[in-house]
């Protein structure tokens, strides 16, 4: 029985390889599924923004000045040195505000309009905080980790959330914080010169979910509802290693709904995904969605 089992498995391996080949870059097969989908959820990550020139602040290259970026994205860092954290986020805001949406952002925005006209729905759940989906024209967006253009008051009795596109965010950061240098002799920014709440004048912080913090309950509820009800899921520019977003697409696949991955990597993140399109998302996504991007 054991020998027979091994032979069956050996015979099945070539079949699996052939199935894997069929789903890679199968634009025709994907478009058939896409045309029949009524409720589409799109998960996006750093790979989309990278094509707009926004660096990844995780991994080996995640350094700013002589600090690891991840060490500045914590409540503890802000409590001990709010000026340093705000200078880092002032730099991140400058990078994001200077960037432009790329063809992947535009393709999703155009296809969302098409879905709206046809009585279908497309919603983006993004791990990115740069706001490029909104600037590209997308409307149905859930920002899992917050947004760089927003601030929240640190006063527990206030907690006012505001939109702020000032660059720099305050005069104290004018001309500083925008380069990766090891030595910085700039004067120390005083706490009273940091961004303040427009309602109560208390210190504000970036409206970002930092390491060690939980996602907003309502944001997470809406995201889970989409994952549990969509009939097609697109995973765009993310390796899905950060939870809870990492579990979203596999949950869709477990329900028997198709998942299409668009990523720079040659291998799919999950074998259960129905389609995999390797390469730059700005190239593969417009083709897969069948939209033309004017330049």
DSSP class of 26: -
Catalytic residue among 145, 149, 217, 276: 145
Residues comprising the chain, all counted: 295
Is 119 annotated to bind a ligand? Reply is: no
Is 47 annotated to bind a ligand? Reply is: yes
Least Cα distance to 124 among 38, 218, 227 occurs for: 227
| Cβ burial 166-183 (10 Å sphere, 16+ → b, else e) | eebbeebbeeebbeeeee
Which tokens is 261 given? 């991955």
Cα distance between residue 68 and residue 166, in whole Å: 25
Is 235 annotated to bind a ligand? Reply is: no
CB neighbours (10 Å) of residue 16?
A: 11
Is 46 annotated to bind a ligand? Reply is: yes
List alpha helices for the chain, DSSP H.
2-23, 27-36, 46-50, 69-72, 75-80, 82-98, 103-117, 132-136, 217-229, 245-254, 281-289
Is 263 annotated to bind a ligand? Reply is: yes
Active site residue 217: no
Is 52 annotated to bind a ligand? Reply is: yes
Is 54 annotated to bind a ligand? Reply is: yes
Is 48 annotated to bind a ligand? Reply is: yes
Is 92 annotated to bind a ligand? Reply is: yes
Is 230 annotated to bind a ligand? Reply is: no
Is 63 annotated to bind a ligand? Reply is: yes
| Residues with catalytic function | 145
- Annotated binding-site positions for NAD(+): 45-64, 127-130, 237-239, 263-265, 281
- Annotated binding-site positions for substrate: 89, 92
- Annotated binding-site positions: 45-64, 89, 92, 127-130, 153, 158, 197, 200, 237-239, 263-265, 281
- Annotated binding-site positions for Zn(2+): 153, 158, 197, 200
């Amino acid at each position: 029985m054991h020998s027979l089992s091994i032979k069956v498995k050996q015979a099945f391996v070539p079949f699996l390889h052939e199935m894997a080949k069929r789903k890679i870059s199968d634009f025709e097969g994907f478009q058939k599924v896409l045309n029949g989908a009524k409720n589409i959820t799109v998960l996006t990550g750093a790979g989309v923004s990278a094509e707009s020139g926004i660096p990844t602040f995780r991994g080996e290259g995640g350094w700013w000045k002589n600090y690891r970026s991840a060490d500045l994205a914590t409540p503890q860092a802000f409590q001990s040195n709010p000026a340093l954290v705000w200078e880092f986020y002032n730099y991140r805001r400058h990078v994001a505000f200077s960037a432009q949406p790329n063809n992947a952002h535009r393709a999703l925005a155009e296809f969302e309009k098409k879905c709206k006209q046809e009585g279908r729905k497309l919603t983006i759940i993004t791990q990115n905080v740069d706001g490029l989906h909104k600037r590209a024209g997308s409307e149905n967006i859930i920002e899992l980790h917050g947004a760089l253009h927003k601030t929240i008051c640190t006063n527990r009795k206030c907690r006012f959330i505001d939109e702020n596109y000032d660059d720099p965010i305050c005069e104290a950061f004018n001309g500083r914080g925008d380069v990766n240098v090891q030595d910085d002799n700039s004067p120390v920014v005083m706490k009273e010169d940091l961004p303040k709440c427009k309602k109560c004048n208390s210190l504000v912080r970036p409206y970002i979910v930092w390491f060690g913090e939980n996602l907003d309950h309502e944001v997470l509820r809406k995201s889970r509802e989409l994952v549990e009800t969509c009939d097609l899921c697109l995973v765009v520019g993310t390796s899905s290693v950060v939870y809870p977003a990492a579990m979203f697409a596999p949950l869709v696949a477990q329900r028997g709904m198709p998942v299409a991955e668009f990523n720079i990597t040659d291998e799919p993140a999950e074998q259960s995904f129905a389609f995999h399109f390797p390469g730059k998302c700005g190239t593969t996504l417009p083709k897969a969605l069948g939209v033309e991007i004017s330049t």
